[in-house]
Amino acid sequence: MQIRKPLLIIGTAVLIVACATNPFTGKKTMALVPNSQLFPTSFAQYNEFLNENKVIKGTKDAEMITRVGQRIAVAAERWLNANGHQSYLKDYKWEYNLVEDKTVNAWCMPGGKIVFYTGILPIAKSETGVAAIMGHEVAHALANHGQQRMSAGMLQQLGAVAGNVAIKDEEKRNVFNQAYGVGSTVGVMLPFSRNHETEADQIGLYLMAVAGYNPDEAAELWKRMKANSGGQAPPEFLSTHPSNDTRISNLIKWAPRAKEEAKKFGITSFRD
């Protein structure tokens, strides 16, 4: 017992040092691997995924994904600048790709690397529907949910050396792959926790509104998602909580606040 106590103290000290406050959530979160180290791993894995899958270029749909992605990223930048976080996005390298795959899914890897599968487009239905999904995915990246999952993975796997942030690249890649489910099942992102999903829903709603898309449509999107799934949510949204119904009622409740937020940025009407 006496041997374990000092270890516990060291562990706690490491955690305090490795926590960062996120401007979007105001929460202190675990950040054992700084973004400057995490992002290059994420970017490499993203490129590998694109190489192994059919990326659609030059179609109306592909252009729409890029357009919506850019607008959501600009909205995030405007929001951060207005709230005194000018340098927050410095390591982000936004990229938006449409991939030929009938799976109903979309995801964003750390650092702003986004994939939409063609299978989700009929449910998105419109550009505003795409914006609701894009806002949600980008929100996961901005709130550093991936980093937190990665940190948790490191603690699990490398618990004994949690203080040693300078782990080898190969170890980092292994933890990343495990945290994301890439490598084992290509392109399937593991579900986020209920709290992370709720945070992404709320931040995403604000982002879409500031980007000029009507936040009322987010609830409509989730109604279609529910109708389509027959009780089964698509992979990125696999977590059973929040349930579709909670999610829909939250989005309806938050939409007026998102519109108020957009007003601060001069957005008083929304795109069709």
Residues that bind Zn ion (CB under 5 A): 197, 200
Nearer to Zn ion, 173 or 223 (CB): 223
CB of 105 to Zn ion, least distance (A): 10
Cα separation, 138 vs 136, whole angstroms:
6
Task: Give min distance, CB of 2 to Zn ion, in A.
Answer: 44
Long-range contacts of 19-24 (CB under 8 A, 24+ apart): 20/144, 22/143, 22/144, 23/80, 23/83, 23/85, 23/88, 24/139, 24/142, 24/143, 24/199, 24/203
Give the active site residues: 137
Q: Which residue is nearest to Zn ion (CB)?
A: 200
Toward Zn ion, which CB reaches closer, 200 or 218?
Answer: 200
Q: Which is nearer to Zn ion, 70 or 198 (CB)?
A: 198
Strands across the sheet with 106-109, in order? 55-56, 95-99, 113-117, 106-109
| In the complex, least distance from residue 83 CB atom to Zn ion, rounded to whole angstroms | 23
Nearer to Zn ion among residue 197 and residue 216 (C-beta): 197
- To Zn ion, the closest distance from the beta carbon of 76 in angstroms equals 16
- Nearer CB in complex with Zn ion: 200/255: 200
Closest contact distance (angstroms) between CB of 189 and Zn ion is 8
